[in-house]
Amino acid sequence: MTPHFDRAHTDDLIAFIAASPSPYHAVASAAERLEKAGFRRVEETEAWDGSSGGKYVLRGGAIVAWYVPEGAGPQTPFRIVGAHTDSPNLRVKPRPDSGAYGWRQVAVEIYGGPLLNSWLDRDLGLAGRLALRDGTTRLVNVDRPLLRVPQLAIHLDRQVNEGMTLDRQRHMQPIWGLGGTDEGALIGFLAQEAGVDASDVVGWDLMTHDVQPPSYLGRDRELLAAPRMDNLLSVHAATAALTAVAGEPLPYIPVLAAFDHEENGSQADTGAQGPLLGAVLERSVFARGGSYEDRARAFAGTVCLSSDTGHAVHPNYPERHDPGHLPLPNGGPILKVNVNQRYATDGTGRGIFVAACERAGVPWQSFVSNNAMPCGTTIGPITAARHGITTVDIGVAILSMHSVRELCGARDPYLLASTLKAFLEG
């Protein structure tokens, strides 16, 4: 029986997404929820103890959180939910102040694989972090119309509706005012917004975001339209699941691992290909008095659900999907399968996922790519290969993936969180 739809969960997801225009804001939002649930932050540079309770580590745009139940030993396996905090967007270059012909512009670089046309004629804000001279960072979020990438009028491109080609260097530079190029103007403005002296800003990681807030859609409000659902939807669901099981007597140690830089290959110290997750799990084992043998035994019993969005069947392009696997919104989480290991799921993993869905009373669906279409990938295969951990790829079916604004079923975030909770409980 499908659990009663808790709209409060989706309302909270809306608030989470709105407060998280960058990976750095996303991990701060997750940490705030963890702190309220009794988790405490531990620093990587300090010694860790083996005490029970909830803990988390922040590194840039990544967060790893775990709960050690009473009586957990050094061989206790982990149950991990993996996700990522980043989304495709436009990111500010090292020399951001540019312009031409009386327009002030911001020089940006394309991050990940966005649907470029979806960024045209949108009211955009800027968010991210400023690096200060003393080695600290300061979050900044201008969540109001500041930038715009204007499209060329149809009168000047009569063939645009027969096919639009955007030059990533020339056509995607947003405007933010009138006048000549003013070196230092953008960072000076953002420093003022963040409440710091511009002379103290020595670096930045800044990105654009659509300032239109998330909203329910449809006659019966059965759909949700929002930016960055790939993959803040999973980060939020995993955070909710972890905080829900904290305090329960558990046979496993539940873990949330939300990485940055998935959209460009995960090769970063905060990405899934980096050492962060492995170091946290190992240090947790050793802090509880474990040896390398204990670590090996704990990892051998560990399972990871790699949760990321997948493709719902598109009513206007059904031929792009596998005809036997057509996930629909509000049909429950999807099991993602690719025999060439673009997804890490195998038959054993399917059994683990199905068992969690059945315990939660949640329906589920399968996703397989059309054989004639290339298949995307996730942190799942990376996690499985790097750590030797059984990994299963799952997620929520959405439309318009990598658009500035994506679409999912309003029930699915809650169904995913219910499944993740059942998985972490074991």
- Which tens digit of pLDDT belongs to each residue from 198-244? 999 999 999 999 999 999 999 999 999 999 999 999 999 999 999 99
Query: 3-state class of 32 per DSSP?
Result: helix
Look up residue 140 and give its amino acid.
V
Give CA–CA dist 214/228, Å, rounded.
10
Note the pLDDT of residue 6: 73
Whether residue 302 is predicted with pLDDT greater than 50 in this model: the reply is: yes
A 10 A CB-CB count for 318 gives: 10
Query: Is there a contact between 147 and 215 (Cβ–Cβ < 8 Å)?
Result: no
Q: For the whole model, what pTM was predicted?
A: 0.96
Q: Would you place residue 2 in the very low, low, confident or very high pLDDT band (cuts 50, 70, 90)?
A: low
Query: Is there a contact between 367 and 338 (Cβ–Cβ < 8 Å)?
Result: no
DSSP symbols for 182-239: -TTHHHHHHHHHHTS-GGGEEEEEEEEEE-SPPEEESTT--EEEETTHHHHHHHHHHH
Q: Would you place residue 250 in the very low, low, confident or very high pLDDT band (cuts 50, 70, 90)?
A: very high
- Compute CA distances 135 → 36, 131, 198, 202, whole Å: 28, 7, 15, 9
Q: Would you place residue 3 in the very low, low, confident or very high pLDDT band (cuts 50, 70, 90)?
A: low
Give CA–CA dist 295/283, Å, rounded.
9
Look up residue 367 and give its amino acid.
F
H/E stretch holding 67 reads strand 62-68
Query: Is there a contact between 396 and 419 (Cβ–Cβ < 8 Å)?
Result: no
Look up residue 92 and give its amino acid.
V
Q: Convert the pLDDT of each residue in 279-296 to its tens digit.
A: 999 999 999 999 999 999
Mean pLDDT of 157-169: 93
Query: Is there a contact between 384 and 200 (Cβ–Cβ < 8 Å)?
Result: no
CA angle 244, 245, 248 (to 5 degrees): 130
Backbone φ/ψ region at 195: left (φ over 0), alpha (ψ -120 to 50), beta: left
Mean pLDDT of 70-88: 97
Note the pLDDT of residue 4: 61
Whether residue 344 is predicted with pLDDT greater than 60 in this model: the reply is: yes
Percentage of the chain exceeding pLDDT 90: 97
Query: Which residue blocks in 20-132 are alpha helix, DSSP H?
Result: 23-36
Mean pLDDT of 297-303: 97
Beta strands (DSSP E) in 85-158 are 89-100, 103-111, 124-132, 137-147
Mean pLDDT of the chain: 96
By CB atoms closer than 10 A (0-12, 13-18, 19+), residue 139 is middle
Q: Convert the pLDDT of each residue in 141-152 to its tens digit.
A: 999 999 999 999
Give CA–CA dist 171/260, Å, rounded.
27
Give CA–CA dist 65/215, Å, rounded.
29
Look up residue 59 and give its amino acid.
R
Whether residue 426 is predicted with pLDDT greater than 90 in this model: the reply is: no
By CB atoms closer than 10 A (0-12, 13-18, 19+), residue 219 is exposed
Q: Residue 192: name the closest of 145, 93, 98, 126 by CA.
A: 126
- What strands, in cross-sheet order, belong to the sheet with 78-84? 40-41, 53-59, 62-68, 253-259, 78-84, 303-307, 390-395, 334-336, 365-367
Residues whose CB is less than 8 angstroms from the CB of residue 156 and which lie 6 or more positions away in sequence, other chains included: none
Note the pLDDT of residue 1: 47
| Polymer length of the chain | 426
- Compute CA distances 112 → 6, 141, 260, whole Å: 33, 21, 12
**Residue 292 is encoded by which pair of tokens?**
């390398």
